[in-house]
Structure 1
Amino acid sequence: MAINQLCLAKGDGGQNAVDTDPQQLFVCAKTLNRAAVAVTLAMSIVFLFSGMGKLLSVPFFHVPFTLMNLPTGFGYFIGVIEVLGAIGIGWREYRVLSAAALLSVMMGAIYYHFNYETTFSALPALFLSALLFLTIKLDESVERLMRFQRQLMDMKAIF
């Protein structure tokens, strides 16, 4: 079932079904959470390999820093951020913070690709940036849905 059929389906009175049915709200939140997990797992793998490449001094990963006349230590610093971000993005408590840190790293990667390589080579960095932004938004949506579900359950318990 598509996410908009599940989460945006109209129920009685023209309201979204998730606004009136806590069970459907719970299923919608779980579906969004699974989507966030799938996206973050894929990004974790990419950033883990990239960060480890920088930390293990693989020349391919240090060329951009040399071309931009940055110190060698900066490549290692970015590698640490990428590895910690890849690990942190897997934990719900640190997901948004890690995604924001990795998003700042990706802004530097986009700058590098646009200024030192062809515009086409910036597409992977742009795609990863979009996924990081999506991760932040999905996490906010899931949190909002879970909070709303708890409120509905509390209201039903009162009545």
Structure 2
Amino acid sequence: MENMKPKIIWAVIGLAALAFVAIGTMKLMGTPEMHASFAQMGLPSWFGYFIGACEVAGGIGLLIRKLSAPAAAGLALITLGAVGFHISYTPLTQGIPALVLFILSVVIFLDRRDDAMFLFGKK
């Protein structure tokens, strides 16, 4: 089973990276459905583009081993915000994708956190 762990985590990372890059790209392209939630919360329109850029950068960061943990932590915060939006503004079932991406981000962070210790001056 230990031999399977690296393959499983890379599959999880690949799936999450693909999802975040796709979702972020749609926000960057100005897809109205992707920006409606920000307007509903009273946030300025530029905020959707900012979140989209963060999702694309985070999705790419997941694929770089030393950046996986910080990228996953940032993406977990973004998806936690999305879960909060769905709890407050939509039927709960619409929040399931955000919740799944939150869980995947946390799993990636926990698996890769030791690789990010260089950020704190540790090897």
TM-score relative to the length of structure 1: 0.68
2:20 aligned residue (32, 47, 66): 47
Correspondence 1:16-95 to 2 at 5 A: 28=2, 30-95=3-68
1:125 aligns to what? 98
CA distance in structure 1 between the partners assigned to 2:33 and 2:95 by the alignment: 16
Q: Higher Cα Rg: structure 1 or 2? A: 1
Q: Is the 8 A contact 1:65 1:71 kept in 2?
A: yes
CA distance in 1, matches of 2:113, 2:5: 10
- The AA in structure 2 aligned to 1:104 is L
Report the alpha carbon displacement of residue 138 of structure 1 after superposing the two structures with TM.
2.4
SS in structure 2 at match of 1:57: coil
Deviation at 1:140, TM superposition (A): 4.5
Q: AA paired with 2:59?
A: A
C-alpha distance after superposition, 1:64-118 (max 9, x if no partner) = 0010010011001100100000000001000000000000100110011000001
Listed as ranges, the matches of 1:106-125 within 5 Å are 106-125=79-98
The structure, 1 or 2, with the larger RCO (C-alpha pairs under 8 Å, 6+ apart) is 2
* % identical equivalent positions: 31
How far apart are 1:119 and its partner, in Å? 1.3
Tell me which residue corresponds to 1:98: 71
Which ranges of structure 2 fall in alignment gaps of 5 or more residues? 116-123
- Distance apart, 1:31 and its partner CA: 2.9
Q: 2-side partners of 1:50 and 1:90: how far apart?
A: 16
TM-score of the two chains, using structure 2 as the length reference: 0.87
Which consecutive aligned stretches of 4+ in structure 1 deviate over 3 angstroms post-superposition?
none
RMSD: 1.4
